[in-house]
Amino acid sequence: MKAVGTFIKDILKGIVIGLANVIPGVSGGTMMVVMGIYDKLIHCLSHFFKEFKKNIIFLLPIIIGMLIAIFGGSVVIEYCFNKFPFPTTLFFIGLILGGLPMMIGKVKGNKVKIGHVIAFALFFALVIAMALLSGTSGKEAVLTMEPLSLLLLFLVGVVAAGTMVIPGVSGSMVLLILGYYNPVISTISQFMSALKGGNKELLIQSFVFLLVFGIGVLAGIVGFAKLIEAIFKKFPMYAYWAIIGLIVASPIGILMMANFGALTIAPVLIGIVCLAAGCLIAYKLGD
């Protein structure tokens, strides 16, 4: 029973991480930290084939959760952001802030050096800069079956994946800046529609696009995971302070990009409840 409970809990963690990766401004890497699986996840990705069976057992429920979120939950979240933007945003901010005490515990008891403060400040500034850049997104890309278009899609997948595993940096926001966010999201929707409607031509085309992008994502995740693991081994305290800077800045960055319009008392009160719920869920899942 304990094993089943752990499996279900890991699926829920995967859902949270998956949802974060499809929402511009919310960092999947931050959610990995909040869920308390970041270090282990990076190790699994860096030594995937060396400890294959052990890594598969750990990664499988997380991957299942992420797929549920990307192909199913993203529709719900998109609806929530459109209909209830303020409470939904505060819910995700709550998820982020709920993991902050755990990260502070990582550095507690260690002397704070000037280098730690610099790492905190630099990565805090990185998130704010990304938020400012979100308003200058590039022209939307047009996906075609031409080799050059597919190669660019692969490279974008590599770049997006790298940012997905870096806490505080939103992979979906990078896609938005590069002009690939809406095309990729539309391709996922087209794939699901073609699957239901039996449109073979559209199904094959969207599958090819998602496959090329997915291979790029996998290549980027493995490559960046090895780099991040090396940094954690050599400079753990600097890495933790950098992540704290990213986490603290993330809610500010999200609010900078948000457009709530006029707020009444009801959504504000609901938002406060959602903020608390997000903090509680992050705390419980991060155990």
The owner of tokens 């800069």 is 129
The owner of tokens 């992420």 is 66
State how far the Cα of 238 lies from the Cα of 260, in Å rounded to an integer.
36
Domain ranges of the chain: 2-285
State how far the Cα of 33 lies from the Cα of 125, in Å rounded to an integer.
19
**Amino acid in position 286:** G
State how far the Cα of 124 lies from the Cα of 248, in Å rounded to an integer.
7
To the nearest whole number, what is the mean pLDDT of the chain? 82
pLDDT of residue 120: 94
pLDDT tens, residue by residue, 189-221: 888 888 888 788 888 999 999 999 989 988 888
CA-based nearest residue to 278, from 82, 67, 53, 80: 80
Q: What is the pTM of this model?
A: 0.66
Q: 150: pLDDT confidence band, cut at 50, 70 and 90?
A: very high
Is the pLDDT at 101 greater than 60? The verdict is yes
pLDDT tens, residue by residue, 262-271: 788 988 999 9
Q: 250: pLDDT confidence band, cut at 50, 70 and 90?
A: confident
